Amino acid sequence: MSQRVVVAMSGGVDSSTTAWLLKQKGYEVIGATMCIGMTDRARGGPARCCGVADIEDARRVALELDIPFYVFHLREEFEKEVVQYFCDEYAKGKTPNPCILCNEKVKFGSFLKRALELEADFIATGHYARLDFDERIGHYFLRKGVDQKKDQSYVLFSLTQDQFRHTLFPLGELRKEEVRNKALQRGLRVHDKPDSQEVCFIQESSYHSFLSERFEKSFEPGPMVDRKGNVLGRHKGIPFYTIGQRRGLHLAKGKPLYVIGIDREKNTIVIGEEEEVYGDTFIVESVNWIVPRERIPFHQTQVKIRYNHPGSEAGLSPKGEGELEVKFKSPQKAITPGQAAVFYDGDTVLGGGWIKKVLS
């Protein structure tokens, strides 16, 4: 009897091809799309996933593949676990990564639960990442996707062994162009659909108006200062700024200026020159280890501090329950509280956590 897998279909080429590949391999495939209450993407703008049009794209692909199709209504879960977190982090002066929370809490949380209620053995997604299972120790290992440009292992660092046990990543061994070619060969209508961009629940080009609508009271303006405390100007509100930001500061000093610090307690934005954006030491909290701790090369790992960061060599030092001090061998630009720091040994994800504060 074939194993049953529910594919998280977003209406895009990756998840559509995932469904087809698994059917070709003999799985009993069911397609399902999350409905999180988003409206259609703006005409002519960048694609956003999970809108009504995307649900219809997924439904049509499921019809083409002759597989059952469901819509999982997860608006409340998404609001609680992702949108509220997104707003709360900005209000604290941090820069959130909602995709990681969506994966952990919604796709591999609520969605997986619904799939198991359908007596599925697995869920599958279109992530470019790989899972290996070591039978000797009964442990799953998360590895980068073969396509380094599309690798999405960074946004999966917080998943657990139980989540991995019920997960398939069919695209991990493929490159993006191969996926599009396979979709074209199969005649899938979404073979040339643009990839989703940015945050799915932000319809505008900026998140500022979204935050303004979400918060009942307006954000309090405050001073922009340099490291010495000299006032350089006024900011519009803490949530509208992030470490490393250059645009929108409206400061004329004859040289490029950047946000180098955010002090929520004093309602102050700290401004500096480019070299001041760099740092090498920071604290990570809420650490999740994927690799058993006895296998962690604490003194020599590659650490990524955001999704598009190439990674840089660093040492890790435990600092109490669930915290680490990370020290890069060379300074890195814009180490940002609220973002994830993910640790690698080659193409293996060791684990990761959330940047709490920058020390230097």
Instruction: Cite the active site residues.
Output: 102, 200
In sequence order, which residues have a C-beta less than 8 Å from that of residue 145 and are 6 or more positions away?
A: 127, 128, 129, 130, 151, 152, 153, 169, 171, 172, 173
Strand order in the sheet with 231-235: 231-235, 222-225, 268-272, 258-263
Provide φ and ψ at 324, rounded to 5°: -135, 150
Which residue spans within 145-257 are E strands per DSSP? Answer: 167-168, 222-225, 231-235
How far is Cα 32 from Cα 113, in angstroms, rounded to an integer?
13
Token pair 């997960």 is at which residue? 167
**What's the gap between Cα 67 and its chain centre?**
29
Q: Are 105 and 86 in contact (CB under 8 A)?
A: no
Q: What is the DSSP code string of 166-196? A: TEE-TTTTS-HHHHHHHHHHHT-TTTTPPPP
How far is Cα 161 from Cα 208, in angstroms, rounded to an integer?
37
- Residue 37 structure tokens: 């209450």
Which residue spans within the chain are E strands per DSSP? Answer: 4-8, 28-35, 69-73, 122-124, 129-134, 139-144, 167-168, 222-225, 231-235, 258-263, 268-272, 278-289, 301-304, 312-318, 324-333, 340-345, 348-358
**What's the gap between Cα 299 and its chain centre?**
26
Which residues share a beta bridge with 4? Answer: 28
How far is Cα 70 from Cα 8, in angstroms, rounded to an integer?
10
Nearest CA to 144 out of 164, 127, 125 is that of 127
Which residues share a beta bridge with 124? Answer: 7, 168
Residue 141 DSSP SS3: strand
